[in-house]
Each structure stands twice: as C-alpha cells, then as structure tokens.
Amino acid sequence: MRKQQHEDAKPRAPERVENEKIQLVNRINSQFAKPTRTRRQKGCIREERGRWCLRWRETVRGENDEPTRIPRFKVLADVTAEHRRNKDRTSGKLRIPPEIAKMAQDILEPINLASGPAETAIMTIGTLVNQYFEKIVEPHRKPSTLKCYRDIWRVHLKHRIGQQCVSDLDLAGASLLWEGIVRDNKFWEAPERVSVKKGEAIWNDVKLKLQAPSFSEWWKKTKAVGLSLNGEVLYVGVLKDDAKQEGESRKIQSEIRTALPTTVKQVEFLTQVTLNRRSMSHIRFFVSGVYVYAKNRGLFKGENPAGAALPEGLRGGKPGAVYSMDELNRMLEVLQQERENKTVFLEQIKKEHAELARTKPNDKLEIKALKAKLHRAEGALVEAFKAEAILAMAFGSGLRKGELQGLTWENFRVQKDGSAKVIVAQSVWHGKVITPKTEASIDVVDLGEEFVQYIEQYRAAIGGVDSGFMFGYASDRPIDLDSFYRWTMVPLLNRCSICKRPEAAHGEESTIHRSRETKHEYVRDESMPVWKGYHAYRRGAATHLAKNFGSSEGVKAASKALRHADESVTQNHYVKESKLMTRARAAAKQIEIEKLKREAAGVLTQGLRAVRKHVRPN
C-alpha cells in the first residue's frame, strides 16, 4: 500500500502531462461543439424584376483556409406569360415552374454532395482549366495536343471566360462565345506565300502616285497583304464596303492598276475572312473536354455548354496540297544536279589541298583554312544525299513528318529483292520522342526498291552506319525537318531562272556575302515546284495509289499504306481527284454493291433448292 502511494507521488514526465491536457481539451470541445449540418440546401427561388432568381448560402475556404459562409445569387430565366398565369390563389404569388426548380436543383446538387467546403459554385473556368491541364492533358495527352490546347485557351478563351463561374456558362452563353471568337478573328488570306515587306513598299509607292482627296477614305480601308514570290502579283486587303461605295471602289481599283510598277503584272484585292469551321470545332471540342472533366468530378451538373451550335456561314477548310509523281521526280532531278556539282567542287578542293600540302607544307594557316573549306564541302555533299533520301522516304512510305524524324536505322530492314521494311515505332515532336499518332500507326511499311536506292546512297555517304536516328544530326539527336526546309528546300525551290542562284543572293536585302551577290533582279524559276509541306508527300502517295493501283481497290490500298483505321479518312482528306472521278468512283461502287446483292440472293436461292432436292417426300 505504501509502495503504491509512493509511486503515485512520483513526478510525472512533462510529455505525459502535455498529452493529458490535450486529451482533456479535445473532450471538452467535442461536448460543446456545434452539430454538423447535414440538411440538404434547397435555396430560395424568387421572382425579381421579371426574372427567376436563386439565392443560397455556401461554405467556401476564406482567409487562412478557414471555412466561411457566403451568400450566392444567380439569375435562372425570364418570367414568361405562362408563368404569370400560374399563381397561388391564397397568397397571390407565382408558383415555381418545374423547369425552374430543376435548374436550381442542378446548381445546388454539387454543393449538397460536397464533403467539405464547396468551391464549385464560385470556381472560375480558369481554375477548372488549370485542373484539367494538370490532371488530364499533361499526364495523358501528347505534347502536341497539350500545346494546341494551351494555344486555344490563351488566344481565344482565357480573356473571355477565364473569370466566369463554371456554372454560369450555358448553351446561350456558349453560342455568344462562338460568335465573339468569329467576330474578333478576321484576317486576309492570300492564295500563296507572299513577301509582306516588299508588298508594303510597292503599295506605299502606289499611294504616293495616287494622292487625291477622293482616295483618302478608301486608303484607310486597305492594307498590303504582300507580294507574290515571283514578284508579279500584289495582294491588297480591303475592308468590305457597303453597296453605296461599291461602284466608287471599283473605279479606284481600276486606277490603281495603272499606277503599278512594270514588274507587277496585276493586283488582287482580298476581303477579310474568319476562322474556318475546323478551327471552331477544335475550340468547341476543348471546351467540351473541360466540362466533361467537371461533370466526372462532380464540379458541374447540367447540359454541356459545348453542345451549342457553331455560327452559320463558317467557311470550309482549304483542300490539302498534293505533290504529284512528276513534281517529286523534278525535285529529285534538281537535287541530283546539286549533288553532282558539290561532288565536283569537293574533288576540286581535295586537289587544291593535296597541292598545297606538297608545295607549301609549312604554311599551316592556309592549310588550316583549306581543311575547313574541305570539311564544309564534305558536309554539303552529305546534306545533298540526305535531302534526296528524305524526299524519297516521305513519298515512298507516306510517313508523317514526326515519323520521318523518328526513323532509326534499326527499324529499316532491306529485303533480298531490293525493297525494305520500315517499322514505324516512334515519332518526334519538337525534339521529343513520343509514340505515333494512333495505335493503328504503329505498323510495318513497305518501301519500293527505287526509293530504297536513295536511302542506301545516303547510308554509304555517312559511313554505312546501322544504328541511331536515320536523318538525325547525330545518332542520338533527331533532325528538325522545319529547319531542313528553311535551309535546304527553300533555296532549292526558290531559285532564279536567270542565274540559278537562290533568292537571298539578289538585291540590296541579300543575306549572302557581297562578293557572291547578283546584279540583276530575282525572277523565280517557274519550272520548280512550290513548297507545299511534308504532308503533301503523304497525300501525293495516297492519290497516286488511288488512281494507279490497277483495280477498284485503289483507295483501300492507299488506306492500308497510310495506316488509316477508316478508309473514308483516306478518301475524303488524302485522295485528290476531280468531281467527275469522284462521281464515277461512287457509281462504280454502287454497281458493285448491286452486284453483291444479286449474288447474295442467288446463293440463298441455290441453298433452298439444294435443301428441297435432298428432302424426301412423306
């Protein structure tokens, strides 16, 4: 007994005392704490100034992350004449229509289902989009898709709906949003690539020649879009005039044509255009994805506002450019000429280097300069081989630009008959190695022996390698085909018809050394094809297969070669043919369908006859 009292009299540890105090305070607080609110909130629906309005209270996170109760308000709809006829006889107040009650329920449902302080009603679309990027797009979409979505949000949507509440955007608001985007995105679209700086210079000269009071108002509505690359067509943007000024504008335009310099043969006046239907569909698809994410997370309940129809009268997209087999052959011929010239130049430099090493072995400075020149000549020759191989691979295999950049020598296998198997396993976007566009794109592509020859010549020029990126700057560094286009294809295609030199070597704006400039004006060689982009080779392969496959299955063969999951994609977006050929193809397909129907009916008839023949009568 004394021992027990002695133990109780011992001083307790400070940690134990502190824990007992905390437990006592928690027990007292739990006894006097307010009960948790579990009642579902219905809100208050009232008619105010001819509109149905909803008022409710909501718990949100305030300063220092403390729950704060705030009032909320939202206009639901206008009060119609039918609503005013439905009154309560006792109180004389309007009865709440079922559709208005349903709208209020949809707004309050996420708040009632929230376990903590509800942020859904005051959450802005900007906050929602940030969550969508962080949890869906960045971890699960390709980098190119992420960039496209970020551009759409930054350019078209952020300043319009970024601060708007998620629940406030409805079908009507989305419809007004589409119209605002179309209205604010107007531009002039020239039918070809133009030089804006040269076009502005010529347009300013024309303005000085035609200084007249009657032109003052008309000039304010014009802007130089640019001068065509061959220097013959001047494109001028003109704001749309009303019917009263149309006749005067025509008169002014005819006088402008007389004031053009002799080098410019004609002037084309362009009207403003807006975003096409495909661009608007991409914007709507992004908004739809954001609100689908919100509904799946319980942040929004109601109809997806992206279901609002796009404005009427949107222009369609331009048909995709296509390279023909003749244009490909012309490019390869010019590249072969360039390669032969660079080969002769390289041999000449080698002879000069050998002669200098024999006659002036002690002149190290000159030998070093000649070695650098020899190294540049060897690199230029390799680039010529590479250019031929890239064009041959692009047309012969129908690969996308990213897939061309991601090709490796390990996935290029030459067969005994001279053809090759190309394994498409990866793609490259802005230097990042990613997966191909779709699952169907991961496949094996056959390359004909004529195209394989260019690849093998390029392989021999770089030392017969068998590993690493096929067209890369190094074995572990993929090529940037946009840079290749600027530095290799543009000087090749935009060369002068007089001196066969690139455009940069002409005039006062020459970017080439003064000693290599030409003294005449640049005139483009019209025998050279115009650059249409890498996808034009893919479309050209599909078009050539559809027209020259040798049977009615040309489109199907093109679809398989391009690795499309749906044959209609190849037919509608890749095969370029005249309307007459399209109608003829449709008629032939209908005839084939009718033939199959008749054959099917005949098979069924023969089956019934065979059964009757073997069945014995009773």
CATH of the domain at 262: 3.30.300
Cβ distance 222 to 247 under 8 Å? Answer: no
List CB contacts of 451: < 8 A, sequence separation 6 or more. 392, 393, 395, 396, 397
Residue 459 lies in a domain: no
Residue 313 lies in a domain: no
Q: Which of 77, 107, 122 is the last residue of a domain?
A: 122
pLDDT averages per 10-residue partition of the chain, 618 residues: 49 59 57 50 86 84 68 87 86 88 82 58 82 92 93 94 86 93 86 79 79 63 78 78 52 74 80 87 95 86 89 85 92 90 90 86 84 89 92 94 94 92 93 90 92 94 92 92 89 82 64 54 81 92 84 80 86 76 72 84 84 67
285 shares its domain with 180 = yes
180 shares its domain with 300 = yes
25 shares its domain with 105 = yes
Residue 329 lies in a domain: no
Letter for the amino acid at 363? Answer: D
109 shares its domain with 200 = no
44-51: long-range pairs with CB below 8 Å, 24+: 45/76, 45/96, 45/100, 45/101, 45/104, 47/79, 47/93, 47/94, 50/78, 50/79, 51/75, 51/76, 51/77, 51/78, 51/79
Cβ distance 224 to 212 under 8 Å? Answer: no
145 shares its domain with 290 = yes
294 shares its domain with 270 = no
Residue that has been written with the tokens 């708007």 in this structure: 164
| Angstrom distance (rounded) from CA 120 to CA 139 | 24
Residue 353 lies in a domain: no
Rounded to two decimals, the pTM is: 0.71
What domain range is 134 assigned to? 125-185+277-307
Residue 76 lies in a domain: yes
Q: Which of 107, 122, 137 is the last residue of a domain?
A: 122
Cβ distance 493 to 530 under 8 Å? Answer: yes
141 shares its domain with 112 = no
Question: Each residue of 13-54: pLDDT tens digit?
Answer: 555 656 665 666 555 555 444 444 456 777 898 888 889 999
Our count of domains for the chain comes to 4
Cα 450–chain centre separation: 33
| Angstrom distance (rounded) from CA 289 to CA 283 | 10
Please report the pLDDT score of residue 274 as a whole number: 86
Residue 532 lies in a domain: no
166 shares its domain with 301 = yes
285 shares its domain with 167 = yes
List CB contacts of 552: < 8 A, sequence separation 6 or more. 588, 589, 592
For the residues of 98-130, what is the DSSP string, one character each?
Answer: HHHHHHHHHHHHHHHH-SSS--TTT-BHHHHHH
Residue 482 lies in a domain: no
Please report the pLDDT score of residue 35 as a whole number: 43
**DSSP helix/strand/coil, 478:** coil
177 shares its domain with 288 = yes
Please report the pLDDT score of residue 34 as a whole number: 43
Residue 232 lies in a domain: yes
Tell whether the torsion through CA atoms of 584, 588, 590 and 591 is positive or negative. Answer: positive
| Angstrom distance (rounded) from CA 456 to CA 601 | 54
List CB contacts of 194: < 8 A, sequence separation 6 or more. 225, 226, 227, 228, 229, 235
Q: Cα torsion at 282, 287, 290, 295 (round to 10°)?
A: -130
Please report the pLDDT score of residue 186 as a whole number: 84
| Angstrom distance (rounded) from CA 226 to CA 197 | 7
368-377: long-range pairs with CB below 8 Å, 24+: 373/349, 374/346, 374/349, 374/350, 377/342, 377/345, 377/346, 377/349
112 shares its domain with 170 = no
224 shares its domain with 290 = no
